[in-house]
Amino acid sequence: MSTTDKFVGDLARIVGQKNCVTDEQALEPHVTEWRNVLHGKALVMVSPGTTGEVADIVRLCSSAGVAVVPQGGNTGLCGGAIPDESGRQLILSLSRLNRIRSIDADDFSMVAEAGCVLATLQQAARAVDRYFPLSLSAEGSCQIGGNLATNAGGINVIRYGTARQQVLGLEVVLADGSIIDGLRSLHKDTAGYDVKQLFIGSEGTLGIITAATLRLYPDPGEMTTLLMTLPDCGSAVTLLAGMRAVLGDRIESFELISRYALELVERHIGGAALPCELAGDWFVLAEAAVAEDSIALGQFLEEAFEQGRISDAVIAKNIAEAETLWRVRHAISEAQKYEGPSIKHDISVPICRMREFLLRCADRLREQEPSAKPVIFGHVGDGNLHYNLTVPKDLFRDQNRVERVTATIYDLVAELGGSFSAEHGVGVTKRAHLERYRGGTEIELMRRLKRALDPQNLLNPGKVI
């Protein structure tokens, strides 16, 4: 028996034969990322059913010197959950770790395993009259472990913060197979270092998140969804400031969307179209916890019209219309995939400099690559923009041109005090940019943490740093 056969046999004894996959065809969906741009090759994929099995697998891999690539719903856009092309790495699928261990409405918390689909957690919270606010386009298939590993953002960051702010405690398997049992539901705890923060956003490079204690909130009540037309892109920031002054923290989301992004959805996604015709090039899709006939909201919209901050507005008359509006927003990435090759940039800038970024970046790209068409949408309230470009195939195939486009965008982001990665993580595709745009001392500290927690470099190697 070869060493590889013995290793795979030992894995099968831990998780069961059916949860130990080596067939290349069965592995294909797990070695290719969502955009079908990055491809890898795996030695084997295992799907443990308990945290103890995860620890046993990691100990076995540590002894054999086999790298472990944790994978959730595989909805990431930076290649963070894809193995390399060596064929010697193990995919650790967390999909079977999908139990909600407990939910406590009085404590406003739930304990969920890493493989729980985000939409399932949202539904579980609603079932006990509570609210779990993390929400993003892939919520029907992404898993909470991956959300935490990348510190996902989504549409509700303006009120609730990123995934990091939703975590009270974590259970984590370390590189030597030891387990951190930190599933406390305490809302206040200053006993030593806040260790859980190391693993949120680390993309599985420091430890494998197997479960989390998550923060729940009161049900925000009746929501009002509205689509507003802007006179220009810069109006979004002043519009948000005015809306916050009137509605305070009742604003759940505030999404800037370009006309071209909407056109792609209408062109490629059946059943996803705006319920009415709107003129203009820039729009804001917002949601607030106020009734449709709210006096405060009505006064705000009237003043916004008078001051020229909006030129039109549509308020969803019912839940069905609201869902239609959000379906259009969530379908943008999928529509761009059908349109053709794209270069994606998940950036953030200080909110006060968003208008400057949009105008200056548009000017630079028009001069550099006039055939590139910006597909812009994002979460104005936290400064996060998805600045994507639909490009011709000849441009996409020319790596030098792609890199120059990305450098143009990221250099301007850095100049304005922003970040080249706002919510999708670093993974493989942005690793070089981390080296370029972050200071030497900061990078060296990251390396020290990696060496301390994973001295063999077996946890998701080649990702982040």
Angle, helix 399-415 to helix 354-368, in steps of 10 degrees:
150
The model's confidence at residue 179, banded by pLDDT at 50, 70 and 90, is very high
What whole-number percentage of the chain has pLDDT above 90? 74
User: pTM higher than 0.75 for the full model?
Assistant: yes
Average of per-residue pLDDT across 146-173: 94
The model's confidence at residue 292, banded by pLDDT at 50, 70 and 90, is low
Q: For residue 293, what pLDDT is reported? A: 53
Is the pLDDT score of 380 beyond 90?
Answer: no
Shared domain for 368 and 319, answered yes or no, is no
Q: For residue 296, what pLDDT is reported? A: 85
Shared domain for 159 and 54, answered yes or no, is no
- Would you state the structure tokens that stand for residue 330, as one six-digit string? 């969530």
Shared domain for 204 and 245, answered yes or no, is no
SS (H, E, C) the chain: CCHHHHHHHHHHHHHCHHHEECCHHHHHHHCECCCCCCECCEEEEECCCCHHHHHHHHHHHHHHCCCEEEECCCCCCCCCCCCCCCCCEEEEECCCCCCEEEEECCCCEEEEECCCEHHHHHHHHHHCCEECCCCCCCCCCCEHHHHHHCCCCCCCHHHHCCHHHHEEEEEEECCCCCEEEECCCCCCCCCCCCCHHHHCCCCCCCCEEEEEEEECEECCCCCEEEEEEECCCCHHHHHHHHHHHHHHHHEEEEEEEEHHHHHHHHHHCCCCCCCCCCCCCEEEEEEECCCCCCHHHHHHHHHHHHCCCCCEEEECCCHHHHHHHHHHHHCHHHHHHHHCCEECCEEECCHHHHHHHHHHHHHHHHHHCCCCEEEEEEEHHHCEEEEEEECCHHHHHCHHHHHHHHHHHHHHHHHCCCECCCCCCCCCCCHHHHHHHCCHHHHHHHHHHHHHHCCCCCECCCCCC
Q: For residue 272, what pLDDT is reported? A: 78
Structural domain boundaries enclosing 400: 340-440
**The total number of structural domains that make up the chain:** 4
Is the pLDDT score of 2 beyond 90?
Answer: no
Report angle CA 395, 388, 369 to the nearest 5 degrees.
Answer: 35
247 domain residue, yes or no: yes
**How many CB atoms sit inside 10 A of residue 319's CB?**
11
Q: Find the CATH number of the domain harbouring 29.
A: 3.30.43.10
The mean pLDDT of the chain is: 93
145 domain residue, yes or no: yes
Q: For residue 424, what pLDDT is reported? A: 85
Shared domain for 50 and 111, answered yes or no, is no
Q: CA nearest 220: which of 122, 347, 354, 153?
A: 122
Report CA 146 to chain centroid distance, whole Å. 8
422-451 pLDDT tens trace: 888 898 888 889 989 987 899 999 999 999
158 domain residue, yes or no: yes
365 domain residue, yes or no: yes
24-49 pLDDT tens trace: 999 999 999 877 778 899 999 999 99
78-127 pLDDT tens trace: 888 999 999 999 999 999 999 999 999 999 999 999 999 999 999 999 99
Shared domain for 434 and 372, answered yes or no, is yes
448 domain residue, yes or no: no
Q: Find the CATH number of the domain harbouring 249.
A: 3.30.70.2190
Is the pLDDT score of 276 beyond 80?
Answer: no
Shared domain for 61 and 109, answered yes or no, is no
Is the pLDDT score of 206 beyond 80?
Answer: yes
383-392 pLDDT tens trace: 999 999 999 9
Average of per-residue pLDDT across 244-263: 92
Report CA 241 to chain centroid distance, whole Å. 25
